Structure 1
Amino acid sequence: MSFLSQSRPARLLRLLPAPLALGLLLTACNSGSDKSAAETSETVAATAPTVALTDSASWYQQFRGVLPGSTDSITVHLQRVNEVPGENTLGRLVGFYAAADGHPYELTGDVSPATDSLRLRDTSHELLNEQNVGPQWLLKQEGGALVGTRAGQPVRLRLLRQPVGVRLSTRTFAAAVLPRPESPQDSVFGQISMFALVPESGASKDKLAANLARGLRGDSLESKPALSLDALWDEQLAYFTKEYRKEVAPMVSKVLADSTDDYQPLATLSYEQEANTYVLWNEGDLLSIGYFGYDFSGGAHGIYGTYVRSYDTRTGRALGFNDIFKPGTRPQLEGILGRYARPALGLKDGASMAGKLFKNSLPATRNVYLTSGGAVFVYLPYEVASYAQGEISVFVPYSALQAVLKPGLPISGGQAVARN
């Protein structure tokens, strides 16, 4: 079906650098072209409108409030991805929140139109309890605010009428593919979806939009022409359709032809591939994006991961590892990561990381993005730990990175902000 489907995920992701492994995953997840695909589009205006957050539309909104028991204001970025039936690794709500220190805390969840509510969970490792469960948010929309509780304590988030950072519109593509088009009665079908963000503001919005499309496709070279989102969807759906039918159609025919076997594992033939674009940071001249890919091609569970990239919105330029860090500083970075990985893993200072990771150390992945307060290093499932550990994100403040950062980054006038 795909390169990832034919390889042992643990071995593959351990052998490849994180961005390359995710590029392969996204290439597998982005596959096709079919005009019967459902498509929606919604734009975030210069002044954010009040929209019904529990309806079926996709959206990206920003809110501000104060966490229970704290005096620090936080900004919450939330996205709604259109419903796609089937097994999904993440919920239909994704986002993050951060205070003035620039440390992002990840959120995932879903919406309940029946109760007109949003249900979220903190998923950052440092906030999980012994059962690996984070605090729950239960929110209802009241006009331009979200009102409810976090971990049972009251919380109120107000909609930012003037969003910070880049204004973004959302586009969603989805399609179902029959393995045997001549047999429309089949209950088995594959599903592919793509969620994209499109810049709607800034002098370099066209270049930024082209780079976001490249990232969604898994292309890393800006010199290569970027496909439009429609052309990208056409390409990806066509590939998915071809490969799914080539692999699954014979298996469906074989299973249905064998009337002597009561066990017919048709559900395992309902493959899914998903490619989504998520906001990881959006403030000032800095936009950081996560390109999430998910591939289920049978088996116990699917493969997923997030390739991350930051962008200088003044120029639209992508900022990779070599654009952020000085040459030859990887050994220093690995020493720094060793200090900050433990709290991210829920460990005490000095504790061995071997119980959480494959080794008692953490390499400096090239899969890294920036916030206003530091850098976040993202590790895929199987890359440094078991699948059960999920993705691992380690935040390192700029105060610890001053010696290894390149000048001219789109943070605090081009210089990293020293934060404790």
Structure 2
Amino acid sequence: MRSSFLIILIAFCAACGNRNQQANDDTASTTDMAATDTVNSHGNWYKHYTGTIAGQAVAADIHKYNERITGTYYYQSQGKPIPIYFSTDTSKPGIYLVDETPEQPDAKSTAKWEVRIVSNTLSGKWKDDMGNDVYDILLKEAPSAYPLAAMHYADTIPYKQGMKEPAATMTNNLLLPGKDINKENANFISGIVSKFMGCDSLHKGKLDECMKAQSAEYATYYRKTVGELDDTMRNASFNNYFTGTDMYVAYNENDWIGFYMMSSEYTGGAHGNYGSSYINADMQSNKVWKLEDVVRVDSVRLQREIEKAARKRASMSDGEEIKSKYFVDRIMPNGNFLLTHKGITFNYTPYEIASYAEGEVLLFVPYASIKDLLTPAFKQRMKMQ
């Protein structure tokens, strides 16, 4: 019998009261305790932080699924997302070491954090890539963010009962509406999750039943695929398959949530495959914004700005051909983008414009450089007029 478990743990911002009414003292106290417990008990959680690094205003969205902590942060003056990855410092109990993803793929080192997470506070030090400059980090959970619940689902599927290997693993790390989100917003977020998981028509939106059904289908596929192999190859380690979905937040301010959705799999071979997409959710209107809602049709002009960012990323000169560092002659705008209060980040998945080794390519275009291309509706929504 497959071993499966479904863990739903809701972690809320310490000061996130009801968005329609102010939370009372008892509710605030309970929320504080929940935030502390989720860190100390190694549960699953999502937190939106605001504060300063080196005295500069920043915001960060941090997630913990199972034992893995990842996130994104940005300086408020720039609005450009910077992915970050946490690991524990075995020599210093309670300390997390954090690596920033460098903008240039050939960077030999990256900026690092050394921080603690205690109750609703993340604090510590930021160090540059050479370790020469050290600055204070002080972040606290923000009351203005939409609270979301972190959910972890996993299923281990052995090829044969009673054998540990080969086996396949299926995981889903998702974010669901928190208790203080109103019904309309909750239904909107639930719909996004359901569609992302392919559960919008299956099992009438019952997420747990949908995931169990998907796990059963995956088990059938896995056992059939491995069963067709030669006996001498069937127990090889490359038959330990994996499939997973991960849901993160990259922006949670101004009644706007930028979701980052990732899918990954390994089905044998040298390496697995993965890709991610952004969903820009306007919580004021319960609308997902598409590129045509944001910019007028002028692909040549927008292409020029995207390629400018691509040249900067690859340390290219202005006249150097894009193809000299990328797989393509031109980098066109796609529908995979994140909106913040300062600009658009276009995401290109592995092999789309660059090699697998370079990972996903994120190209940031500030609104200031394309302000005349932005639609009146988007300018009004972002309060640019």
Whether these two folds match at TM > 0.5 is yes
Question: Cα RMSD over matched residues?
Answer: 3.0
Alignment of 1:223-372 (within 5 A): 227-251=205-229, 254-255=231-232, 266-326=236-296, 328-372=297-341
1:155 aligns with 2:136: yes
Q: Deviations over 1:195-251 (max 9, x none)?
A: 1111222463233223321442258xx999962321331232122111111112343
For the structure 1 residues 240 and 75, does the alpha-carbon distance in structure 2 shift closer, same or farther, using more than 3 Å as the test? Answer: same
| Residue 78 of structure 1, aligned match among 62, 74, 84 | 62
Instruction: Measure the CA separation in 2 of the matches of 1:215 and 1:329.
Output: 30
Paired position in structure 1 for 2:21? none
| Residue 56 of structure 1, aligned match among 32, 38, 42 | 42
Q: 1:76–1:96: 8 Å Cα contact kept in structure 2?
A: yes
Shift of 1:316: 1.9
Shift of 1:415: 4.4
Q: 1:296–1:302: 8 Å Cα contact kept in structure 2?
A: yes
Shift of 1:142: 4.7
Paired position in structure 1 for 2:95? 117
Instruction: Measure the CA separation in 2 of the matches of 1:67 and 1:348.
Output: 31
Instruction: Measure the CA separation in 2 of the matches of 1:134 and 1:351.
Output: 26
Shift of 1:35: 7.7
For the structure 1 residues 230 and 218, does the alpha-carbon distance in structure 2 shift closer, same or farther, using more than 3 Å as the test? Answer: closer
Paired position in structure 2 for 1:387? 356
What SS class does the counterpart of residue 125 from structure 1 fall into?
A: coil
What SS class does the counterpart of residue 164 from structure 1 fall into?
A: coil
Paired position in structure 2 for 1:259? none
For the structure 1 residues 306 and 350, does the alpha-carbon distance in structure 2 shift closer, same or farther, using more than 3 Å as the test? Answer: same
For the structure 1 residues 223 and 38, does the alpha-carbon distance in structure 2 shift closer, same or farther, using more than 3 Å as the test? Answer: closer
Q: TM-score, normalised by structure 1?
A: 0.76
Q: Which moved more, 1:282-291 or 1:112-121?
A: 112-121
Paired position in structure 2 for 1:190? 168
Q: Which moved more, 1:275-284 or 1:224-233?
A: 224-233
Shift of 1:103: 1.6
What letter is aligned with 1:56? H
For the structure 1 residues 274 and 402, does the alpha-carbon distance in structure 2 shift closer, same or farther, using more than 3 Å as the test? Answer: same
Q: Which moved more, 1:264-273 or 1:346-355?
A: 346-355
Paired position in structure 1 for 2:11? 43
Q: 1:125–1:346: 8 Å Cα contact kept in structure 2?
A: no
Structure 1 gap ranges (5+): 1-33, 84-90, 257-263
1:136 aligns with 2:142: no
Paired position in structure 2 for 1:169? 149
What SS class does the counterpart of residue 151 from structure 2 fall into?
A: strand
Shift of 1:297: 0.7
Q: TM-score, normalised by structure 2?
A: 0.83
What SS class does the counterpart of residue 304 from structure 1 fall into?
A: strand
Instruction: Measure the CA separation in 1 of the matches of 2:110 and 2:98.
Output: 9
Q: 2:96–2:116: 8 Å Cα contact kept in structure 1?
A: yes
Structure 2 gap ranges (5+): 17-27
Q: Deviations over 1:124-169 (max 9, x none)?
A: 424x6633x4212222235533223433424222322x43331111
Paired position in structure 2 for 1:19? none
Q: Deviations over 1:278-310 (max 9, x none)?
A: 101110121111110111111111101111110
What is the count of residue pairs matched by the alignment? Answer: 359
Instruction: Measure the CA separation in 1 of the matches of 2:90 and 2:6.
Output: 21
Identical-residue share of aligned pairs (%): 20
Q: 1:79–1:95: 8 Å Cα contact kept in structure 2?
A: no
